[in-house]
Each structure stands twice: as structure tokens, then as C-alpha cells.
Chains A and B, each alone.
Chain A
């Protein structure tokens, strides 16, 4: 079972065909050049083939970009901006292909009425899959502009080139005509086919250059609008009655006191009981007056016995790759090594909680929402309100962090239902406790590895068993003659008895656990072989020059000195392949044996992301991966008892803060022959292993379970 299919399964429900007649929309756009294309192109060309499954091909067009009559370029994208920086990198690609200044490119993101359908913003896909389409659309527009100019200037097309918003004669640059004058009074619609020639990387002038974020100004002045900042006349704020735990049943409820309060409206629709008030604190006060009793089932499952539970579940065994003969591998092993690696539930915990403002009037709905999947939200709202999808518009303002958690849109559906019932615009902004309760956590999971080294310290046997982590990055990239990778249930599998609450994609889904396990186990073997962890990796990678290159780059930058681990220096190394992006990391840590506190002092990351669009953006994404990733290594863990989430705020659920974040050095390893790959997630997936390996090197204690909290460090040290 392919991991991408888990995502696909999850997304299948959002594949409802949309019925917006984009021809109608295109009529409203006025003049200029409009380059459009259909979803067939997206799925037949830009996206992996398996994504096409279960989707009906719509027959309408999707506007992608418009060169307006004033010469400005408007990009319409169903992606959303949640900090990852597409608001800068997508216009950068357009500016490159169209040869216009970056500042003359406008971008509209995540508005389901204006933007072409998009599956959602996740999986480090925007640049990799969406970028080529956008560039092709821009290249098409460039072709049209040259055609128009050829007529205007009475020159053949091959004598013309484009520069800074003008088409000009190659041999006489003063003979030129602006895009604005070419498009003035015209209306040209073109449908993108596969023939538009893209610029070659070596001709890049805008891409490949560091670009600062274009949204900084509004974000430092407080002007940036997030979903919770949108104000509508007469809007009400909602607070919703919540159960204390998953699977709790409402036994009795008395809303009379709340209903008597000034300006409070109580809304009840089946399971949905909410207080509405012109202020959020007023709604909260009213909610507190509701007397509710719940039956909470007694359940024994908690964060201490979850792994035992998961391992006991009957599970299918699904071999996803194998090579050679495992028995042969075992026989040729001089040393056999087994290890089980445990990784816990962690929360997405964006600082902006799930928020939406819905305005349902008659048979139309407009929703401003913090979401990574606006088009999915549109379909969900249409369904719950019983409206045709074209009557629902989802607008995505700036999103205050997502990390995979805002692919689920519970708050949007709630706001839509409440607005319909109240006949007013209604804002739903989850509290932090609600955010924890309804999050779809990174799943708790176990990886069991059996491996063998021959007498030359080569890995000759590898058996990798994955329990519920998700498949991504399970595959072997070391040169091992006999191996097998087995899925015993992915994150979306196993039925309702598997996890006591929702789980889902968390920045680098599957891979955080898989790479933690594999790269820890490689270190265990290196140590047993008495070999330096870097040399052991290089030796066992066979002919994987690309991986060796990033490893060497990271090691050189770090100043890696060969030594057998544990060396007491606190140096760790790890490498990985995340969906085509290659990463190597080195870490230096210090461990305070008294307090058990682990402090990273320095982290070096070398990354080969293929062709680089925005080196500044990639570097920042990598820094973010390291800083955020330290949290799951050292502090983050969801505590629960049955369906009750014991962590309700950041007092007990701790993640990276300034004092935890070390010096981070990033090296981008050039690889212009490869198309741009993703960069929002890869580096975070190596953090578990590089930190565990560095800690082992520091104190000789191997952590088979994350996070490495001070209490666990102290306990391990006292055992040792």
C-alpha cells in the first residue's frame, strides 16, 4: 500500500466534482491575456499518476494567470500562505518566465471563486508540482505577447525577446513595445497545452536569487488579516459546548441560565450546542453557564501503554519492497542487531487555532477560514448546508501556521451551520483546548528493525517492520543485498480501535518516525562495528553519489572528525531521502547529566532540493524544520487517558522556544539538473535521528523512544 494512497484516501472525499462555470467568471475578468488550463493537465502532467484515481475530470477551465490591460500580471492560485512562503516563490516563477519585475505580479491565493481548483497546500508540493504548471502558463503568455508584438512591430517572432515588461527587438532594444500596450483593448484567452517551452535554469535571473518575503510588511504592522481578524456588520462570536473526551455522550444539558443572559443567543442543532454573542468573551461567559453532564467511558488506554496496544492489534502484513533473500542475509551476517523504535502522538499546535467566519444568506455562503484545503472546505460546507457547491465561496486570508493540521476543517463546517441557524455571520475560533482535543495527531507508532553485518561490516540483512507510522520514507536507500520493508498498518489504517482519536499528516508524515528509526539503527550498527558513523554510512550507501554528496557536504561544514561513537563529544549525523529531496544533518549536543536536559549547540544541514527557485525561502524552511523538529525530539508528547486529552495548553505541551534553538547552518547543495523538489518538510524528518545519535555520542545512552525528556534521560542514566 502506497503512502501517497493514504493521502489519496483521505482526499478522495474532497474529489466531488465542482460545478462552477468558470466561463462565467472569465467573462468578468475584462481584457488582457488569460491563460487557462484544465485539471486534466494538472493530473496528467504535473502530479503523480496515482493522484488521478477516483477523480472525475471536470470539463471547465481554470484561469491561472492574467496579463492585464495595464501590464500587471495576476496569479490566481488555489494554494494558501501559512508561512511557508508561496506568496513570494510563485510570483517569482511567474516573473521569471514572463520577464516582468517581481513587484508587478499580484497574487490571489486560496479563494475558491477566483482561483483554480487545488487539492490543498501540504506535502511540500507547491513548488514541485504546481510550479511547473504556473511556469508553463507564464511561458504561454510570453509566447502570445511575442506574437502580438511581432504583428505590432512588423518583425518575425524570432527577432524578438522579452525584458522587464516589454517585448523588444533583439538587435535593436530601443524598438520595443510594452505588455500593457499589447494587451490594451484586447481579450485573448488561451488554453495551456503541453507545448509551452520553459526557460532553462541557466537563463534564470529572478529564480535562483534570494527573495525576501513579500508579506513581511503587513505582518510587522499588524495589518495582515487572518481569518479571526475579519469583521462583518452584525457578526456574532460562537462558543460551542464540548465533551470532556472523545466518545463522551451528552447525558443532560440545562441551557436556561445562559439563555437569560443579555445579548446571548443559544443555538442547538442536534449535537451542536453553541452560545452566540457580539463578543467572543461574552459567548465564552455564556457557555460557562450551561450545565451539562456527559457519560465518559472508562478506558484504560493511555500514553504509557499505547505501544503495547498497537502491537497487539491484529494487523495485515504488507511487503512493500524486497530484495535478495532474507535467510541468506541472516546466514551471511557475522552480527545480528535488533531494535524497536517508538514515536509518540504529537500535536500540530499552530499558534492560530482553527478559525472561520461564515456568512450564510439565503442559498449562498461565504466563509473566511484558516485552512490548508479551501476547496475541500467548500465541498464540505455545500454538503452540510445542502447547497450547490457553486453557491459556496471559501476565502483564505493569511493562515497562522498549519503543518498538516489545517487540512481538516471542523471549524468551518461549525461556523457555516451556526451562521445558517442564526441568520447572521458567525465566527468560530477554537480555544487552545479545543485545538488539542480535535487535532489529528501524528500517530504513535513503532518500527521494528532486524539487521545483520558481515565480517567486513557491510549491511547484508535488513528487515524493517512499520507499525502505523505511515509508509513515507520507509524504503531502503542503503546498498543492502537482502532486505524487506513491511507495512503492518499505515496511519490511516486499522479502524476505529487503533488510535483513541484522530491522526493525520504532521509535517513530514511517516518520515519523521521512519527516518528516526532507520538512521538510529544505522548508528547502532556503526557503533557495534566500531566504525565512525559517517564512514559507516558512506561505505554502505553503495553508488548513491547524491546521498554521499550531501553527507560529505554536511560533514565538511560541521567539521566532522572521524571517531567511533560514543566519543563523548556529542556529535551526531543522519541522512535521508524525502520524496526526492536529499538531506544530511550533523548535530552537536550537550547533555546535563544532573538535570537530564539536552541542549543542541549547533545543527548543520546540507540539502539537495534540485533546482533552486528561492534560496532564501529554502534556507528559511530548513531553519524552521530544525527549530520545530527539536520539539518532537526533546519535549513534545500528547498525554491522554482514554479519549481525554490531558494536554490542553502550552503549559504541559511544550515545544521549541528560543532557548532551545541552537545555531543553525544551512548548505544548499546545487543540483540544477533536477527539477525543483519540495523543501517545507524534508529536513524536519531527520531531526529525531540526528539528535538521538548525538545524545548517544555524548553519554553512551541510546534512546529508542522520543521525546528525550529530562526525566527519561535521568532514568536512562540511572539504569546505566
Chain B
């Protein structure tokens, strides 16, 4: 298959890249852009370690071909902190020790970020539902939920618990 120039927005920056349209976004991010925050965990979309946002929706980048990226807005974990300032969700993860090995963390944070964009006052049930297909093997689940509850409060939504 031949390469095609694909234009899209990557972490708020317009980019274009000549690339085969059938290449998966995960590998393009990791090899062409050097953005290694999205991880390979299962390669079939089951674990969520490769999650990035496309037009604010979480997608499994290991399953997402470049042809579907044209003119879209891609956000990776590297683009979430602005001007060296952590996003409140990232800060809440730090403040709650909401990670262990950290391999699933970028996918967790981006999935939660997408939830918060749609629902500024997510309940615990909303959070669990949104994150249930993001796998964590170390068992940081309870801390992640605590962090997100706290982030919801610090961002002006949610309820204190």
C-alpha cells in the first residue's frame, strides 16, 4: 500500500505525515512522533493501555488506522499538561498515589479526562463504568477512583466524599 499524506491535529498542533493509511495510530505515534505515552498492552483493544482521544473520545489506538485520523484532533497523554501545569486529573493521580507500575496510567487518565468533558459531575458508578475496560494488573483501582472523585471536586463538579 502506498503512503498518503494525512493531516490532523496532534496535541493542539497541526501535523501532516506521509504514511500508509492502514498503519495503526499507536505505532505511528510511538515510532514516527516519538510519543511513547500510549502503550502496547494487548494489541487487540482489550486492555486500554494504548488509549488516546480522538475528537475527545477515547479510542484504542492499536485498533485505529491512520485513514480514519484525517482532519481529526488527537490528544495523547503528552498533550494533557499545559505549560508545564498538570491537569487536575494528573495532579489527583499524583496526590492519591493512584498508580503502581504506571503502565496503564496514561490510558486511565485520558479515559477519565474524556468522561469529565462530557460529565463534570460523574458519580462513582459513572467513573467505574467509564474505566471498566481499562485494565490495571497491579490493583490500583480503589486509589484511581479516589483520585477521580477528588479531581471531580477540584474541577468544580462532583461531590465530596
Residues in B whose Cβ lies below 8 Å from that of A84: 100
Contact of A216 with B137 in the complex, beta carbons under 8 Å: no
Q: Interface extent on A, as a size class?
A: 35 or more
Task: Return 30 A-B CB contacts under 8 Å, by A number.
Answer: A83-B101, A83-B102, A84-B100, A212-B94, A219-B102, A220-B77, A220-B86, A221-B78, A222-B36, A222-B38, A226-B36, A279-B27, A279-B31, A350-B101, A351-B103, A353-B41, A398-B101, A401-B103, A620-B100, A620-B140, A626-B139, A627-B141, A628-B139, A650-B44, A651-B46, A657-B141, A658-B128, A658-B141, A658-B145, A659-B132
Which residues of the other chain, B, contact A22 by a CB distance below 8 angstroms? none
| A350 to chain B: closest residue by CB | B137
Cross-chain contact A221 with B77 (CB below 8 angstroms): yes
B95 at the interface (CB under 8 A from A): yes
A399 contacts B101, CB within 8 Å?
Answer: yes
The reply to whether B101 and A222 form a contact with Cβ atoms under 8 Å apart is no
What string of 1s and 0s marks CB contacts (under 8 Å) between B40-71 and chain A?
11111011010000000000000000000000
Contact assessment for B141 and A212 in the assembled complex, using a CB-CB cutoff below 8 Å: no
Q: A279-B31, A351-B136 are in contact. List 5 more A-B contacts (CB 8 A).
A: A220-B106, A351-B103, A620-B97, A623-B143, A626-B139
Majority SS at the chain B contact face: loop
Instruction: Determine if B149 is an interface residue (Cβ-Cβ < 8 Å).
Output: no
- Per-position contact with A for B67-110: 1 when CB-CB < 8 Å, else 0? 00000000011101100001000100111010111111110010
Q: Mark A632-670, 1 if CB is under 8 A from B, else 0.
A: 000000000000000001110001111101011000000
A278 to B23, CA, bound (A): 13
Complex contact B139–A222 (CB within 8 A): no
Tell me the minimal C-beta distance from A718 to chain B in angstroms: 29
A89 to chain B, nearest CB (A): 13
Residue A213, interface by CB 8 Å: yes
A624 to B136, CA, bound (A): 10
A549 within 8 A of B: no
The answer, yes or no, to whether A431 is at the interface (CB within 8 Å) is: yes
Enumerate chain B residues within 8 angstroms of A432, measured Cβ to Cβ.
Answer: 41-44
- Given the complex of chains A and B, what is the CA–CA distance between A432 and B78 in angstroms? 25
Q: How far is the CA of A403 from the CA of B35 in the complex (A)?
A: 27
Pick the residue among B90, B93, B102, B134 that contacts A400 (CB under 8 A).
B102
B101 touches A650 (CB 8 A): no
Q: Which residues of B contact A (CB under 8 A)?
A: 23-24, 27, 30-31, 34-44, 46-47, 49, 76-78, 80-81, 86, 90, 93-95, 97, 99-106, 109, 127-129, 131-145
A614 CA to B30 CA, complexed, in Å: 36
Chain B residues contacting A229 (CB-CB under 8 Å) are 30, 36
Question: Which A residues lie within 8 Å of B105 (CB)?
Answer: 219-220
- For residue A429, which residues in chain B have a CB less than 8 angstroms away from its CB? 40
Residues from chain A with a CB closer than 8 A to the CB of B40 are 228, 280, 353, 429
Check if A224 sits within 8 Å of B102, measured CB to CB. yes
Query: Contacting B101 at CB < 8 Å: which of A281, A349, A400, A626?
Result: A400
Q: How far in angstroms is the closest Cβ of chain B from A628?
A: 4
Contacting residues, chain A, for B136 (C-beta < 8 A):
351, 627
A23 at the interface (CB under 8 A from B): no
Q: Which residues of B contact A219 (CB under 8 A)?
A: 93, 99, 102, 105
User: Within the complex, what minimum Cβ distance (angstroms) separates A26 from chain B?
Assistant: 32
Q: Indicate with 1 or 0, residue by residue over A431-467, a CB within 8 angstroms of chain B CB atoms.
A: 1100000000000000000000000000000000000
A589-619 interface (Cβ within 8 A of B): 616
Q: What are the residues of chain B within 8 A of A661 when measuring CB–CB?
A: 139, 141-142
Q: Which residues of A contact B24 (CB under 8 A)?
A: 281
Residues of chain A with a CB closer than 8 A to B95's CB: 212
Known pairs A219-B102, A220-B99; A351 contacts B135 (CB<8 A) = yes
- Let me know if A352 is at the binding interface, CB within 8 A: yes
